[in-house]
Amino acid sequence: MLKLFTPRSLISTVRCTARAYSAPVKSLTVDGKTYPSDEWTNIPPFILDLIQRKLHKNPDHPIGILHDLVKKSMNGMGYTIYDEFHPIVTKFQNFDVLGFPEDHPGRSKSDTYYFNKEHLLRTHTSAHEHECFQDCKTPGYLITADVYRKDEIDRTHYPAFHQLEGARYWSRLEPNYLEKIQQDIDSIPKTNIIVEDPFRDQPITENNPKQTYMTPEEVRLVATHLKKTIEYLVNQVFENARESAKKAGSTEPYLNEPLKVRWVEAYFPWTGPSWEIEVWWKGEWLECCGCGIVQRQVLLNSQLGEDKISWAFGIGLDRIAMLLFGIPDIRLFWSLDERFHKQFKRGEISTFAPYSKYPGVKRDVSFWLPSESTLHCNDVMEIVRSHAGDMAESVEVVDEFVHPKTGRKSQCYRINYQSMERNLTNQEINVIHGNVENDLTTRFDVEIR
Ligand code: DAH
């Protein structure tokens, strides 16, 4: 997945310059609200359909089961639960209030679905930090929601997925607030996980500086509370998975290894210092959650007052749910097939039993790009998905070269069309593939070879 929050130093090299799709309709109406289109509008209809699904609210769906497990694990620890936020937010909520630089790649039309220049589909649950800080009456909150990003197409990437956001704050005006934070740290249930954290006692480094308004001791305490909370949560989720795998009779060796995590430094516009946690699971490091100490400006923007210090984190739920439930393809979460849904029950982590798979149909599309081309690989993904829907199993660049004499650039993409539910006919793929070629030609001026 393309990282949305790229370190500042990389921004100029990964910047997207894809051209806008022309606005297809005058306006889009969702849940009774109308959004006039403009040159930013780039939402295909199949994405609009996903908004209504609310998988995290379905207690018998793997995403909902995971959400409920998290809620249960954090129950009684002082967090207000928010899981009803509408996915259409403003540019202000998603980017500006969090201090995203104007030229951040996450803002581009190649990465984000816009209704118009002011409204978009949230790309992360952090879009609701501002209102939750304003609204929340407890020391912390949790937000679960569906989020949307234009992305590659493969087994682990889908333009809609789910995140869990958490935050906690303290007031420096409270007497002995540092001791209070230490007590809060001590009250987090202990775990047996093995933690690799070179930054636990010295969280401030040259690459990951503290904000000037905080003291090193405040940073150390808030960071420790943050990290122990996440370690506890990760432990709850993965231990649960382990238990249910054992109960189901699995004897895989990883089930007897202690859970191992490591902390690495990171960059997010609205936190400083920032980190990511990675979990060692079945032989690989799994990037699982970004977090950090919230920038003072975000707290001030939320009218929290000058006395607050706070942390926040964001966890992607889909990858974790795929591991926990043994789900091989992220598209299955969105399937309407009974054979998928009947396998899951509230409160239970069970292992998915694959049902028969229908063969795929591979088609290549090769073209010459115009000079000054602005075609971005996400645009090709998007076009394929808008014609093929969930029949777009994967799209990859298989060839790319520059003609030695003319200097023209050629690309070839390979598309695998495949359905989870039925056999596809050559005839229907021809129509879809023809539409993909047409769209590429009319929108991006490519010359099909
Ligand atoms: N919003 C980030 C993402 O989508 C995750 C994240 C990172 C959330 C740091 C946070 C945070 O609250 O502090 O990748």
Annotated domain spans of the chain:
27-342, 361-448
Cross-strand partners of 291: 275, 313
Taking domain 27-342, whether its CATH number is 1.20.140.10 is answered by no
291 CA to middle of ligand 1, Å? 6
Give the best-scoring range by mean pLDDT among 6-15, 178-187, 233-242, 329-338.
178-187
Is pLDDT of 23 > 60?
no
Quick check: 7 and 81 in contact, CB under 8 A? no
Instruction: Please tell me the predicted confidence (pLDDT) of residue 445.
Output: 92
Give yes or no for a cis peptide into 273 (omega within 30° of 0).
yes
* Length of the chain in terms of residues written: 449
pLDDT of residue 120: 98
C-alpha distances (whole Å) from 252 to each of 37, 245, 257, 282 are 53, 9, 10, 9
CATH architecture observed for domain 361-448: 2-Layer Sandwich (3.30)
Return the SS3 of 238.
helix
Is ligand 1 within 6 A of the CB of residue 88?
Answer: no
298: Cβ below 6 Å to ligand 1? no
| DSSP assignment of 272-307 | EEEEEEEEEETTEEEEEEEEEEEPHHHHHHTT--TT
pLDDT score, position 22 = 44
275 pocket-lining for ligand 1 (C-beta < 6 Å) = no
For ligand 1, whether the C-beta of 4 sits within 6 Å is: yes
The pLDDT value given to residue 420: 80
Question: Between 220 and 375, whose confidence is greater?
Answer: 220
Q: Which helix (H) or strand (E) holds 182?
A: helix 177-186
Distance CA 343, CA 380 (A): 34
pLDDT recorded at residue 24:
61
Question: What is the pLDDT, as a whole number, of residue 409?
Answer: 93
- Look at ligand 1, atom 5, and give the residue with the nearest C-alpha: 314
What's the CA gap between 350 and 329, in Å, rounded?
A: 16
Q: Is 283 left (phi over 0), alpha (psi -120 to 50) or beta?
A: left
Look at residue 68 and tell me whether its pLDDT is greater than 80: yes
d(CA 230, CA 151): 27
**Is ligand 1 within 6 A of the CB of residue 418?**
no
Q: Cβ atoms within 10 A of the Cβ of 47, count?
A: 19
Q: Is the pLDDT at 48 greater than 50, yes or no?
A: yes
Q: Report pTM.
A: 0.83
Give pLDDT tens digits for 332-361.
999 988 899 999 999 889 889 988 778 889
Q: What angle do CA 303, 305, 307 make, to 5 degrees?
A: 155
For residue 42, the SS3 value is coil
CA of 268 to the centre of ligand 1 (A): 7
**Whether residue 271 has its Cβ less than 6 Å from ligand 1:** yes
Q: Residue whose CA is closest, atom 10 of ligand 1?
A: 313
What pLDDT does 19 receive? Answer: 33
Token pair, residue 20, equals 């806008």
Strand partners, 169: 310
**Cβ of 160 below 6 Å from ligand 1:** no
User: How high is the pLDDT of residue 10?
Assistant: 28
CA of 439 to the centre of ligand 1 (A): 34
**CA 257 to the chain's CA centroid:** 28
Residue 97 and residue 102: Cα distance in Å, rounded? 12
Tell whether the torsion through CA atoms of 290, 293, 299 and 301 is positive or negative: negative
Asked if pLDDT for residue 255 goes beyond 60, the answer is yes
Model pLDDT, residue 294: 98
